Chain A
Amino acid sequence: MELILTAEEEAFRQEVRAFVTAEVPEEVRRKTMTGFRLSKEEHVTWQKKLFEKGWVAPGWPVEHGGTGWTPMQKHLFEEECAAAGAPPVIAFGVTMVAPVIMAFGSDAQKDYYLPRILRSDDWWCQGYSEPGSGSDLASLRTKAVLNGDHYVVNGQKTWTSLAQHANLMFCLTRTSDTGKRQEGITFLLIDMEQPGVTVQPIKTIDGSTEINNVFLEDVKVPVANRVGEEDKGWTYAKYLLGHERTSIAAVGRSKAQLKRLKTIASVEMQEGKPLIEDQNFKEKIAAIEIDLLSLESLVLRVLSDESAGKGPGPEASFLKIRGTEVQQGITELLVEAVGNYAHPYVPEAMKTGWNEDPIGPEHAASIAPHYFNWRKASIYGGSNEIQKNIIAKAVLGF
């Protein structure tokens, strides 16, 4: 079931397709499609290219550098980027901290950070979770104590994705222990390149090290780097969570991965026939495809509500739940598709410059690591259990 597009929308799609097809380097495309790790440079180079084209922040208001696209255009853009194997724009700057700065930041913060975010001059990371505060984020204990014109921050953040690349962190800190836990949290922008900040990688079950512990020891943060008011950070964090939730659904990416699954299933042979001709396997793909179609439909509905000025409601949590279920479902079928060649684990094969022959089919190398790695999706960004709590409370009124 294809989207029915107007002539203008179709022309727009072709324009995006022509650009991304021409501009994404083959090596980057291959890595993105197969789930291999991209270097910081590969990410930044691509984002700068999008910036030059004026397309790096479609979700932003036009006055800050947004594109002014319709919801359908935003959706088509995401889909075409994913289909061409463009690296996803790293969310921490453009889609996470930027809307908070726009809504609650000082003029000085807007003037300084927003253009830098557009140009990918900074790499942001998110300082939310702590060892004792995961699903129960409001229990966080990283302490910020005001001392003249700066805060002194002490504590530990964890699961910090790509902190190894980051020079800036938006960070939730505790500034008050009295009253409701949510009311003593302050939103700080922290320079990672200073004494007292230590980034320690965490190895995950797939063998990669994209998440980190971040230790903060007497870290000085100027008061000018506080977003909004002291003790009001929880409100800003919630605003962030309610913003651009459609990107977490990753419809375009899942479409591209589904296509990849079908390609692989058409070359993997089972009992003399391509696996994709197996009725049972075909139906499993179909079931995921239908999940994805309804997800896409809900995304488009939410996007059009957004452009009509209606912020995404807590229903947006469904986008996170379904989006990650679809992503995980595809990784699971990919493991099934490659059969015995899910076994070999050769991380070098997933890196640039590995010139040896693959073990088994080339498409198999990253599939099992990716399956295990992607279990994170139903845990991060508010676990799927927490998303259900949000819906139960805010939508159903329990």
Chain B
Amino acid sequence: MSFAFTDDQKLLAESADRFIQNDYTFENRRKNMEMDGGFNRAVWTQFAELGWLALAIPEAYGGLGGSTGDAAVLLESLGRGLVVEPYHSTVVLGAGAVAAAGSEAQKNEILPEVAEGKRLLAFAHVEPRARFTLNHVETSAIKDGGGYILNGEKAIVHNAETADTLIVSARTGGATTDHDGVTLFLVDPAAKGVTLRSYPTIDGLRASEVTLEAVQVGADAILGTVGGAMPVIEAVVDRACVLLCAEAAGAMDAAVTLTVDYMKTREQFGRPIGTFQVLQHRAVEMLGAKDFSRALTYRAASVVDVADPRERARAVSAAKVEMGRGGKTIGQEGVQLHGGMGMTDDMAVGHYFKRLTMIDVLFGNIDHHLRRFARLG
């Protein structure tokens, strides 16, 4: 296990950081958020041109074949800019599921288009009553000739309203929380019976409640093995958790830097507030929270591609717990050390705080991953 970044990774980080600094300012992000669908399609095209969408897609399907560690480097930079473009939905979760479970035909059709920025995906798995239990799937898929009929509800599906294809999990067998019996389907969001109720999220993204009412899909819509999707979903979500942690590492880094800069310039009692030792120590706690979380995240990134499911799960849950704690420390203290200014929408620190809080909630919060880690022994 190597903890050093490769030369390619260093170059990637440099170019992504430069992009964020020059082209993805706080003001530009705000404009992007307000665009149709909640992000900037021109930026998405730029991502494609820079090779960022292809980065972790297999070479055989138009990608660059990068590792999860490579993707983490990119996500960390994107986290510094609080990027609202649908990277997780389309590339990490969507293309991740297709690459892991798809037939040759499906991979050939979808993955090159994702890499080129021509197809957007959304991962419709979580359900309203599932909380953080990944194998809680009530949505049903009933066999109908060669295809299936889908009925159910999916919750907080990020970027569903702009997706060209939804990846929907549904039960072809078993009871609500059985590990067996879940199947993935490719669903056209424009298909009859698919209803989206879309809304902004508190951290500046877009999501939808997706209702499936007698949605007919053909045999070619089945992604992977009928009834055997859970191991795929677990692997895809574990990898997504690591990359969310990588994004969080970038967000934490930016929030710490902003706060320290503020402490050096904001004067009260005739001197910069950063000269008060009691506040310095709190800034040090923030920095430490970021460093530990980032270190564990990259370790998890190197594990997810190679380890068995149990080791993978332990590494991911550990990273997610540390990220959740660190994000809370940095978000809360970042705002507090900014004083009233930290409460304003005009300052970036509150936006990092919100994103970090929501990354904690995504695919299981601190308590969930602590429990999972403990159960794995």
Contacts and interface: CB of A to CB of B under 8 A. Distances in A.
A336 B367 contact: yes
A177 to B, nearest CB: 15
Interface residues of A, number: 47
Given A272-B177, A344-B207, A372-B350, A339 B339 contact: no
Contacts of B132: 270, 339-340
Contact of B343 (A139, A281, A368, A375): A375
B319 to A, nearest CB: 19
Contact of A344 (B201, B278, B332): B201
A124 to B, nearest CB: 20
B60 interface: no
B353 A372 contact: yes
A375 B202 contact: no
Given A135-B268, A339-B361, A379-B340, A205 B350 contact: yes
A375 B278 CA distance: 20
Given A136-B268, A269-B131, A360-B155, A340 B345 contact: no
Given A205-B350, A379-B336, A340 B361 contact: yes
Contacts of A136: 268-270
Contacts of B358: 342-343
B225 to A, nearest CB: 26
A35 to B, nearest CB: 14
A205 B343 contact: yes
A398 to B, nearest CB: 12
Contacts of A340: 126, 130-132, 155-156, 361
Contacts of B332: 375
A271 B371 CA distance: 12
A360 B132 CA distance: 15
A343 B336 contact: no
Contact of A375 (B128, B209, B336, B345): B336
A383 interface: yes
Interface in A182-238: 202-207, 211
A305 interface: no
A135 B367 contact: no
A206 B204 CA distance: 11
B121 to A, nearest CB: 19
Contacts of B339: 134-135, 379, 383
Interface string B272-299: 0100001100000000000000000000
A134 B340 contact: yes
A345 B202 contact: yes
B131 A270 contact: yes
Interface in A130-151: 132-136, 139
Interface in B327-370: 332, 335-336, 339-340, 342-346, 350-351, 353-354, 357-358, 361, 365, 367, 370
A369 interface: yes
A339 B371 CA distance: 15
Given A340-B131, A375-B335, A383-B339, A359 B209 contact: yes
Nearest to A133: B268
A158 B354 contact: no
B197 interface: yes
Contact of A134 (B201, B268, B270): B268
B336 A335 contact: no
- Report the interface size class on chain B: 35 or more
B231 interface: no
A344 B367 CA distance: 21
Nearest to A275: B131
B199 A345 contact: yes
A372 B345 contact: no
A341 interface: yes
A378 interface: yes
A203 B351 CA distance: 13
A6 interface: no
B269 A268 contact: no
A18 interface: no
Contacts of B370: 280
A394 B177 CA distance: 59
B340 A344 contact: no
Nearest to A281: B367
B336 A378 contact: yes
A385 interface: yes
Interface in A100-140: 129, 132-136, 139
B133 interface: yes
A376 B339 CA distance: 8
Contacts of A341: 155-156
A77 interface: no
B129 interface: yes
Given A136-B269, A203-B344, A343 B361 contact: yes
A156 B365 CA distance: 42
Nearest to A136: B268
A290 interface: no
A132 to B, nearest CB: 8
Contacts of B365: 336, 339
Interface string A317-356: 0000000000000000001100111111110000000000
A346 B199 contact: yes
A159 interface: yes
A68 B345 CA distance: 44
Contacts of A132: 267
B200 interface: yes
A368 B202 contact: yes
Nearest to A384: B336
Contacts of B343: 204-205, 211, 375-376, 379
A370 B58 CA distance: 43
A270 B177 CA distance: 12
A308 B351 CA distance: 48
Given A205-B344, A335-B357, A379-B339, A372 B131 contact: no
Given A344-B199, A344-B207, A203 B367 contact: no
Contacts of A278: 367
Q: Which 5 A-B pairs have the closest CB atoms?
A: A205-B350, A136-B268, A203-B345, A345-B202, A343-B201
Given A269-B131, A360-B155, 16 more contacts: A132-B267, A134-B268, A134-B340, A203-B344, A205-B344, A211-B343, A270-B132, A278-B367, A280-B367, A335-B361, A336-B367, A341-B156, A342-B357, A372-B357, A375-B336, A379-B342
